Amino acid sequence: MILDRKNKLLIALALLVAVMLGRIFHIQVMDGRYKSDSVRNAMVRQYVAPPRGIIYDRNGAILVGNRMSYDLLVTPREVSRFDTAALAEVVDTSVAFIKERMQYYAANARRIGWQTLPFIKQLDEISCQRFVEEQYRFPGFKIETRTIRDYPFNAGGNLLGYISEVSPEYMERHPGEYRPGDYYGKTGLEAAREKDLRGEKGYHIYLRDARNRVQTAYNDGKDDKLAVPGKDVITTIDAHLQQYGQQLMQGKKGSVVAIEPETGEILAMVSSPCIDVSVLSDVGKHYPEIARNPGKPMFNRTVMASYPPGSVFKIVNGLIGLQEGVLRPNYHYACYKGYQYSSGHTLGCHNHPSPIDLNEAIMMSCNAYFCHVLKNVLENPRYDSISTAFSAWRQYVMSFGFGQKLGSDFPAELGGNIPSANFYNRRYGRNHWRFPTIVSLSIGQGEIGATPLQIANLAAILANRGWYRIPHIVKDSESISIDPKYHEKHYTLVDTLQFVKVIPGMWRAVNAGYGTGATAVSGAVPGLDICGKTGTAQNPHGEDHSVFICFAPRDHPKIAIAAYVENAGSGASWACPIATLMVEKYLTGTIRHEHRDREQRILKTKFYR
């Protein structure tokens, strides 16, 4: 039978319909991919933030813990008409605030889409309870429970740092790791150990209907993921010592850093003025007040301030002189109120007996003596020029950890400055500078800059007689292993045998009754055998800075410490008593009765308000 044109068209149409129906059957029944895609399009994930890890001190005291917080969230697309005055009363806010936020959501509706956003953070418990009772009146709003940081011990605000909500810029630098509304460690230890402390987010998966309303749990919750809490961090800090150091430094600008010499573990890291831990859980709320503070409490002086080390640096020059063979402990030099280094120019000094040997020079902190020492180092005939001798001197100094970052695990550490021969060649011209040009380096002044952490590390090197481990604030624990570099010994270029030659002078400076540090430690605690060195760092912008380093006991030291008090005058007057009180507190657990007057003087004196 010959088909006419009409029948041909009907058959072709029937075949086309059959193919289409077969394809639809395959897509909807036989091929599960599209069904899965459809289900996925109806799925919504509700993320669960993990609790951050707890931060402990070296003895198990909690420095940073967690407590419950309640945030009011909103999904703008789900909001219908509601009584703004009623909501304002329930959550204790203003009608103007609510209207402003809702106008913002309306203006940015396309960009926001179906996102759920924070509306009010950290509702108080009473407001939270009121909202839960009245929630039915406010569709699109809900309460989310999360943990925020808690600080049971008032110690180490600058050291611990704070967490903050992620910014778009931060999310760009860490793609896929954070979502809007997440928190991260922004400063201090919170930032340094962010990857350990933050944990892993979990989620619940729900299905939503055609109107995007959440209906039921997907697959009975079998595909949900539990949040993984952050790892706990055990620090090297002694909370009580840290707190005591902050009390002594209250009303003063400066730093105190204490180190356990044998391990390099930082026992205390005080920057003053500091951030009070009471504001750390909500820094954003207090930020304007903090930023206006002229003392710059967010500036961590322990690792970010570069100061002239002053007279404590004389010991470094003495050790280099001993190593170079241009100095022996019995060498005597005269001092007549200073050192005359060129016609009409004298680097002054205070009254003391003259002439004196090395240990007397350390005890008396004689400027002239160490001018002679550095002159002999730089004019040593073994070197063909002062530039060559100076470069050798610089290498010695840098082996003590100066002029470079120590490599601590604390963020934002600066390296300070030790000038180079090239620096002076550029400034004065090649071969146009001599020892008198740089005489101030003899006493730790001039172009030398050091952080309090580096100065404390010098105290640890002296305690160890020539070596140090990189100072650090995190201990090895079951959950966290620290970098092996923190266990390595770093030796200076000065032989360890040379260090025993300067220790008697440091001991006498504190214990002999007439050294520069004796005014602070008269009646020293029996058995402590504190060895120290005062410093008065010249400050071209105001009063001199008070500096002191020490370690104790003399044999098998348990603590090395550096105190740096800005604009406070001589090292013996303020830095020395602060440091020695902390040593006494750490080694004995208390302050002797005869030292209480000194303690009260320190506690009550305020250079800064």
Overall average pLDDT of the 566-592 stretch: 90
Cα separation, 571 vs 390, whole angstroms? 28
**Whose CA is closest to 367, among 277, 472, 442?**
442
Give the confidence band of 34 by pLDDT, cuts at 50, 70, 90.
Answer: very low
Q: What pLDDT does residue 524 have?
A: 58
Q: Give the pLDDT score at 513.
A: 62
pLDDT bracket for residue 28 (50, 70, 90) = low
What CATH architecture does domain 239-274+299-472+483-604 belong to?
3-Layer(aba) Sandwich (3.40)
Range list of H helices, 135-254: 157-160, 168-173, 188-192, 194-197, 239-249
Residue 152's alpha-carbon distances to 207, 243, 248, 290, in angstroms, are 41, 12, 20, 21
* Residue 383: alpha-carbon gap to chain centroid: 42
Averaged pLDDT for residues 581-607? 92
526 pLDDT more than 80: no
CB count in 10 Å sphere of residue 370: 30
Higher-confidence residue of 191 and 146: namely 191
Q: How far apart are CA 494 and CA 489, in angstroms?
A: 14
Q: Read off the pLDDT of each residue in 545-556 and give the average, rounded to a whole number.
A: 94
With a pLDDT cut of 90, the percent of the chain lying above it is 60
pLDDT in tens, 371-397: 999 999 999 999 999 999 999 999 999
d(Cα 428, Cα 438) in Å, to the nearest integer?
11
With contact defined as beta carbons under 8 Å apart, do 452 and 402 qualify? no
Could you check whether 40-61+153-235 and 67-150 share the same CATH topology? yes
Nearest alpha-carbon partner for 348 in 440, 270, 273: 440
Q: What span, in angstroms and rounded, lies between the C-alpha atoms of 123 and 445?
A: 53
Place of tokens 């520069």: 516
The pLDDT of residue 522 is 42
Tell whether the model's pLDDT for residue 286 goes beyond 90.
no
Average pLDDT, the chain: 88
Distance, in Å, from the CA atom of 322 to the CA atom of 494, rounded to the nearest integer, reads 8
- CA–CA distances in Å: residue 47 to residues 145, 217, 412: 12, 13, 32
Confidence of residue 4 (pLDDT cuts 50, 70, 90): low
- pLDDT for residue 2 is more than 60: no
Q: What is the CA radius of gyration of the chain?
A: 34
Structural domain spans, the chain: 40-61+153-235, 67-150, 239-274+299-472+483-604
**Residue 22 tokens, joined:** 């077969």
Q: Return the CATH superfamily for domain 67-150.
A: Penicillin-binding protein 2a (Domain 2) (3.90.1310.10)
| Number of other residues whose CB lies within 10 A of the CB of residue 242 | 27
- Whether omega before 51 lies within 30 degrees of 0, making that bond cis, reads no
> Is 518 a residue whose pLDDT tops 90?
no
Specify the higher pLDDT residue, 223 or 6: 223
Going by C-alpha positions, the residue among 563, 578, 568, 565 that lies closest to residue 521 is 578
Q: b/e per residue, 387-402, with b = 16+ CB within 10 A?
A: bebbebbbebbebbbb
| Residue with more model confidence, 542 or 492 | 492
pLDDT band, residue 366 (cuts 50/70/90): very high
| CB distance 442 to 361 below 8 Å | no
* Position 47 confidence tier, pLDDT thresholds 50, 70, 90: confident
For domain 40-61+153-235, which architecture applies?
Alpha-Beta Complex (3.90)
Confidence at residue 237, expressed as pLDDT on a 0 to 100 scale: 97
pLDDT tens digits along 384-438 = 999 999 999 999 999 999 999 999 998 889 999 999 999 999 999 988 999 999 9
ω into 553 cis (within 30 of 0): yes
Task: Please give the average per-residue pLDDT across 485-511, as a whole number.
Answer: 96
> Comparing 27-41, 76-90, 328-342, 440-454, which segment has the lowest mean pLDDT?
27-41
Per-residue pLDDT reduced to its tens digit, 165-200: 888 899 999 998 888 778 899 989 999 999 999 999
Between the CA of residue 97 and those of 80, 91, 126, what are the distances in Å?
A: 18, 12, 20
Question: Taking 80 as the threshold, does the pLDDT of residue 210 lie above it?
Answer: no
Question: Pseudo-torsion of CA 449, 454, 458, 460, nearest 10°?
Answer: 170
HEC string for 351-375: CCCCCECHHHHHHHCCHHHHHHHHH
pLDDT number for residue 196: 95
Straight-line distance from the first to the last Cα atom of the chain, in angstroms, rounded to the nearest whole number: 111
User: b/e map of 335-345 (b: 16 or more CB within 10 Å)?
Assistant: beebbebeeee
Mean pLDDT, rounded, for 254-283? 91
- 225 versus 515: the higher-pLDDT residue is 225
